[in-house]
Copies of this chain bind each other. A is one copy, B any other.
Protein backbone atom coordinates (compact mmCIF):
# COMPACT_ATOMS: atom_id res chain seq x y z
CA UNK A 1 0.00 0.00 0.00
CA UNK A 2 1.11 3.55 -0.68
CA UNK A 3 1.72 5.72 2.36
CA UNK A 4 -0.18 8.69 0.88
CA UNK A 5 -3.72 8.35 -0.48
CA UNK A 6 -3.42 8.93 -4.20
CA UNK A 7 -6.89 10.41 -4.74
CA UNK A 8 -8.97 13.14 -3.17
CA UNK A 9 -12.58 13.96 -3.90
CA UNK A 10 -13.55 17.46 -2.77
CA UNK A 11 -10.46 17.55 -0.61
CA UNK A 12 -11.04 14.27 1.19
CA UNK A 13 -9.12 11.05 0.61
CA UNK A 14 -11.62 8.95 -1.32
CA UNK A 15 -11.87 6.61 -4.28
CA UNK A 16 -15.50 7.14 -5.26
CA UNK A 17 -17.88 9.82 -6.45
CA UNK A 18 -21.65 10.01 -6.21
CA UNK A 19 -23.29 7.90 -8.89
CA UNK A 20 -25.65 10.82 -9.64
CA UNK A 21 -22.73 13.14 -10.48
CA UNK A 22 -23.31 15.02 -13.73
CA UNK A 23 -19.74 14.24 -14.72
CA UNK A 24 -20.81 10.62 -15.00
CA UNK A 25 -24.37 11.23 -16.15
CA UNK A 26 -23.53 13.58 -19.03
CA UNK A 27 -19.76 14.12 -19.14
CA UNK A 28 -20.60 17.54 -17.75
CA UNK A 29 -17.16 18.74 -16.73
CA UNK A 30 -13.50 19.26 -17.57
CA UNK A 31 -10.15 17.70 -16.79
CA UNK A 32 -6.43 18.38 -16.83
CA UNK A 33 -3.57 15.91 -16.78
CA UNK A 34 -0.56 17.59 -15.23
CA UNK A 35 2.97 16.23 -15.30
CA UNK A 36 4.68 16.74 -11.93
CA UNK A 37 8.41 16.50 -11.32
CA UNK A 38 8.69 16.23 -7.55
CA UNK A 39 6.52 19.00 -6.10
CA UNK A 40 6.71 21.11 -9.23
CA UNK A 41 4.65 21.18 -12.42
CA UNK A 42 6.41 23.32 -15.04
CA UNK A 43 3.21 23.92 -17.06
CA UNK A 44 0.94 24.43 -14.03
CA UNK A 45 -0.04 28.02 -14.87
CA UNK A 46 -1.10 27.01 -18.38
CA UNK A 47 -3.23 24.15 -17.02
CA UNK A 48 -4.97 26.58 -14.68
CA UNK A 49 -5.54 29.07 -17.52
CA UNK A 50 -7.17 26.41 -19.69
CA UNK A 51 -9.28 25.13 -16.81
CA UNK A 52 -10.52 28.66 -16.08
CA UNK A 53 -11.38 29.20 -19.76
CA UNK A 54 -13.23 25.89 -19.84
CA UNK A 55 -15.20 26.80 -16.70
CA UNK A 56 -16.20 30.11 -18.26
CA UNK A 57 -17.39 28.39 -21.43
CA UNK A 58 -19.35 25.68 -19.60
CA UNK A 59 -20.72 28.02 -16.93
CA UNK A 60 -18.93 26.27 -14.06
CA UNK A 61 -17.63 28.16 -11.02
CA UNK A 62 -13.83 28.14 -11.39
CA UNK A 63 -11.85 26.33 -8.69
CA UNK A 64 -9.12 27.94 -6.60
CA UNK A 65 -5.76 27.13 -8.26
CA UNK A 66 -3.91 27.34 -4.93
CA UNK A 67 -6.25 24.72 -3.45
CA UNK A 68 -5.78 22.47 -6.48
CA UNK A 69 -2.00 22.78 -6.21
CA UNK A 70 -2.06 21.80 -2.53
CA UNK A 71 -4.24 18.79 -3.32
CA UNK A 72 -2.11 17.79 -6.33
CA UNK A 73 1.02 17.89 -4.18
CA UNK A 74 -0.73 15.91 -1.45
CA UNK A 75 -1.79 13.06 -3.73
CA UNK A 76 1.64 13.00 -5.38
CA UNK A 77 3.55 13.15 -2.10
CA UNK A 78 6.61 10.95 -2.06
CA UNK A 79 6.56 10.30 -5.80
CA UNK A 80 9.58 11.41 -7.85
CA UNK A 81 7.31 11.97 -10.80
CA UNK A 82 3.59 11.76 -11.30
CA UNK A 83 0.78 12.54 -13.65
CA UNK A 84 -1.94 14.27 -11.66
CA UNK A 85 -5.38 14.23 -13.18
CA UNK A 86 -7.70 16.99 -12.02
CA UNK A 87 -11.35 16.43 -12.88
CA UNK A 88 -13.95 19.11 -12.28
CA UNK A 89 -17.63 18.30 -12.79
CA UNK A 90 -20.87 20.22 -12.32
CA UNK A 91 -21.54 17.97 -9.33
CA UNK A 92 -24.80 16.30 -8.44
CA UNK A 93 -28.12 17.69 -9.50
CA UNK A 94 -31.65 16.65 -10.35
CA UNK A 95 -32.10 14.28 -13.28
CA UNK A 96 -32.22 16.06 -16.64
CA UNK A 97 -29.90 18.14 -18.80
CA UNK A 98 -30.80 21.51 -17.26
CA UNK A 99 -27.77 22.58 -15.21
CA UNK A 100 -28.57 23.56 -11.61
CA UNK A 101 -28.60 27.33 -11.08
CA UNK A 102 -26.11 27.06 -8.22
CA UNK A 103 -23.97 23.98 -8.87
CA UNK A 104 -21.70 22.42 -6.24
CA UNK A 105 -18.87 21.16 -8.44
CA UNK A 106 -17.08 17.91 -7.74
CA UNK A 107 -13.29 18.10 -7.67
CA UNK A 108 -11.24 14.94 -8.12
CA UNK A 109 -7.47 15.08 -7.83
CA UNK A 110 -5.63 11.81 -8.44
CA UNK A 111 -1.97 10.88 -8.93
CA UNK A 112 -0.81 8.21 -11.36
CA UNK A 113 2.65 6.94 -12.21
CA UNK A 114 3.96 8.59 -15.37
CA UNK A 115 4.15 6.44 -18.51
CA UNK A 116 7.32 4.31 -18.54
CA UNK A 117 10.26 6.27 -19.98
CA UNK A 118 11.16 5.17 -23.50
CA UNK A 119 14.31 7.10 -24.32
CA UNK A 120 14.40 5.76 -27.85
CA UNK A 121 11.02 7.31 -28.64
CA UNK A 122 12.42 10.75 -27.82
CA UNK A 123 15.68 10.11 -29.64
CA UNK A 124 14.50 8.29 -32.76
CA UNK A 125 10.83 9.22 -32.88
CA UNK A 126 7.56 7.27 -32.82
CA UNK A 127 5.30 5.70 -35.40
CA UNK A 128 1.82 7.14 -35.98
CA UNK A 129 -1.11 6.07 -38.10
CA UNK A 130 -4.10 7.87 -39.57
CA UNK A 131 -7.37 7.07 -37.80
CA UNK A 132 -10.53 6.25 -39.71
CA UNK A 133 -12.80 8.11 -37.29
CA UNK A 134 -13.38 11.75 -38.29
CA UNK A 135 -13.80 14.33 -35.54
CA UNK A 136 -17.13 16.18 -35.47
CA UNK A 137 -17.06 19.97 -35.66
CA UNK A 138 -18.49 21.63 -32.55
CA UNK A 139 -17.16 25.18 -32.14
CA UNK A 140 -18.88 25.53 -28.75
CA UNK A 141 -16.65 22.81 -27.29
CA UNK A 142 -13.58 23.09 -29.53
CA UNK A 143 -10.30 23.53 -27.68
CA UNK A 144 -11.66 22.47 -24.28
CA UNK A 145 -10.46 19.42 -22.41
CA UNK A 146 -13.97 18.35 -21.46
CA UNK A 147 -15.23 14.97 -20.34
CA UNK A 148 -16.97 14.03 -23.62
CA UNK A 149 -14.22 11.86 -25.07
CA UNK A 150 -15.96 9.00 -26.86
CA UNK A 151 -14.45 10.08 -30.17
CA UNK A 152 -10.96 9.68 -28.74
CA UNK A 153 -11.88 6.33 -27.18
CA UNK A 154 -13.22 5.00 -30.49
CA UNK A 155 -10.23 6.36 -32.41
CA UNK A 156 -7.74 4.86 -29.95
CA UNK A 157 -9.57 1.52 -30.20
CA UNK A 158 -8.71 1.34 -33.91
CA UNK A 159 -5.29 -0.18 -33.27
CA UNK A 160 -3.53 -2.18 -30.59
CA UNK A 161 -0.09 -2.61 -32.12
CA UNK A 162 2.21 -1.32 -29.34
CA UNK A 163 4.70 -0.22 -32.00
CA UNK A 164 2.26 2.53 -33.00
CA UNK A 165 2.32 5.37 -30.49
CA UNK A 166 -0.48 7.56 -31.74
CA UNK A 167 -3.21 8.05 -34.30
CA UNK A 168 -3.75 11.21 -36.32
CA UNK A 169 -7.31 12.49 -36.42
CA UNK A 170 -8.92 14.35 -39.31
CA UNK A 171 -12.16 16.28 -39.26
CA UNK A 172 -15.09 15.53 -41.56
CA UNK A 173 -13.65 17.90 -44.18
CA UNK A 174 -10.37 15.95 -44.22
CA UNK A 175 -8.27 18.49 -42.32
CA UNK A 176 -5.70 17.10 -39.89
CA UNK A 177 -6.58 18.17 -36.32
CA UNK A 178 -4.36 16.38 -33.80
CA UNK A 179 -3.44 12.98 -32.45
CA UNK A 180 -5.83 11.17 -30.07
CA UNK A 181 -4.02 12.48 -26.96
CA UNK A 182 -1.48 14.97 -28.29
CA UNK A 183 -1.27 17.99 -30.56
CA UNK A 184 0.57 17.91 -33.86
CA UNK A 185 3.20 20.26 -35.27
CA UNK A 186 4.91 20.30 -38.66
CA UNK A 187 7.75 22.24 -40.19
CA UNK A 188 6.67 23.29 -43.68
CA UNK A 189 8.96 25.35 -45.89
CA UNK A 190 10.93 26.25 -42.79
CA UNK A 191 7.84 27.47 -40.93
CA UNK A 192 6.40 25.83 -37.79
CA UNK A 193 2.68 25.18 -38.21
CA UNK A 194 -0.06 23.45 -36.22
CA UNK A 195 -3.74 22.85 -36.99
CA UNK A 196 -6.24 25.50 -35.92
CA UNK A 197 -8.55 24.18 -33.21
CA UNK A 198 -11.60 26.40 -33.50
CA UNK A 199 -13.88 23.62 -34.80
CA UNK A 200 -12.70 20.56 -32.88
CA UNK A 201 -9.74 19.16 -30.99
CA UNK A 202 -8.17 19.94 -27.63
CA UNK A 203 -5.87 22.95 -27.29
CA UNK A 204 -3.06 21.35 -25.29
CA UNK A 205 -1.00 23.17 -22.70
CA UNK A 206 2.18 21.85 -24.29
CA UNK A 207 0.94 23.33 -27.56
CA UNK A 208 0.35 26.67 -25.78
CA UNK A 209 3.90 26.55 -24.37
CA UNK A 210 5.35 25.96 -27.83
CA UNK A 211 3.32 28.83 -29.26
CA UNK A 212 4.61 31.10 -26.48
CA UNK A 213 8.29 30.41 -27.21
CA UNK A 214 8.32 29.97 -31.01
CA UNK A 215 6.65 31.61 -33.97
CA UNK A 216 3.87 29.19 -34.92
CA UNK A 217 1.25 29.61 -37.60
CA UNK A 218 -2.18 28.01 -37.11
CA UNK A 219 -3.19 26.59 -40.44
CA UNK A 220 -5.58 24.28 -42.22
CA UNK A 221 -3.54 21.18 -42.97
CA UNK A 222 -4.70 18.50 -45.36
CA UNK A 223 -2.73 15.23 -45.37
CA UNK A 224 -1.16 15.93 -48.76
CA UNK A 225 0.25 19.21 -47.45
CA UNK A 226 1.43 17.53 -44.24
CA UNK A 227 3.27 14.98 -46.38
CA UNK A 228 5.61 17.77 -47.49
CA UNK A 229 6.75 18.49 -43.90
CA UNK A 230 10.47 18.37 -43.14
CA UNK A 231 9.68 17.63 -39.47
CA UNK A 232 6.64 16.25 -37.65
CA UNK A 233 6.27 16.03 -33.92
CA UNK A 234 3.65 15.57 -31.21
CA UNK A 235 3.25 17.69 -28.08
CA UNK A 236 1.68 16.53 -24.85
CA UNK A 237 1.66 17.75 -21.27
CA UNK A 238 2.29 14.17 -20.16
CA UNK A 239 4.73 12.98 -22.84
CA UNK A 240 6.48 16.18 -23.87
CA UNK A 241 7.92 16.55 -27.38
CA UNK A 242 7.78 13.32 -29.38
CA UNK A 243 9.33 13.27 -32.85
CA UNK A 244 7.41 11.35 -35.51
CA UNK A 245 9.67 9.00 -37.45
CA UNK A 246 6.96 7.29 -39.47
CA UNK A 247 3.44 8.27 -40.43
CA UNK A 248 1.59 5.36 -42.05
CA UNK A 249 3.98 4.15 -44.78
CA UNK A 250 5.90 7.43 -44.90
CA UNK A 251 9.27 7.86 -43.13
CA UNK A 252 10.00 11.20 -41.43
CA UNK A 253 13.31 12.72 -40.35
CA UNK A 254 13.83 14.18 -36.88
CA UNK A 255 14.95 17.77 -37.35
CA UNK A 256 16.37 20.81 -35.59
CA UNK A 257 13.08 22.46 -34.56
CA UNK A 258 12.01 19.28 -32.78
CA UNK A 259 15.40 19.04 -31.06
CA UNK A 260 15.29 22.68 -29.97
CA UNK A 261 11.88 22.17 -28.39
CA UNK A 262 13.07 19.02 -26.62
CA UNK A 263 15.89 21.13 -25.15
CA UNK A 264 13.36 23.73 -24.09
CA UNK A 265 11.35 20.98 -22.37
CA UNK A 266 14.42 19.91 -20.40
CA UNK A 267 15.10 23.52 -19.47
CA UNK A 268 11.56 23.75 -18.11
CA UNK A 269 12.52 20.94 -15.74
CA UNK A 270 10.98 17.94 -17.46
CA UNK A 271 13.01 14.77 -17.21
CA UNK A 272 15.42 12.77 -19.24
CA UNK A 273 12.99 11.15 -21.68
CA UNK A 274 12.26 14.51 -23.24
CA UNK A 275 15.54 14.45 -25.18
How many subunits of this chain does the assembly comprise?
Answer: 2
21 contacts between A and B (CB under 8 A): A15-B19, A16-B17, A16-B19, A17-B17, A17-B19, A17-B24, A22-B153, A26-B27, A26-B149, A28-B149, A33-B95, A58-B150, A58-B153, A85-B95, A90-B153, A97-B155, A98-B156, A99-B157, A101-B160, A136-B136, A137-B172
B contact residues around A152 at 8 Å (CB):
26, 97
Q: In the complex, what distance in Å separates the CA atom of A54 from the CA atom of B112?
A: 31
Contact of A20 among B18, B99, B110, B153 (CB under 8 A): B110
**Known pairs A15-B19, A25-B31, A99-B156 / 12 extra A-B pairs, C-beta < 8 Å:** A9-B19, A19-B87, A25-B87, A26-B152, A27-B148, A28-B153, A58-B154, A85-B95, A99-B153, A101-B160, A141-B150, A148-B148
B contact residues around A59 at 8 Å (CB):
157
Shortest Cβ distance from A21 into B: residue: B24
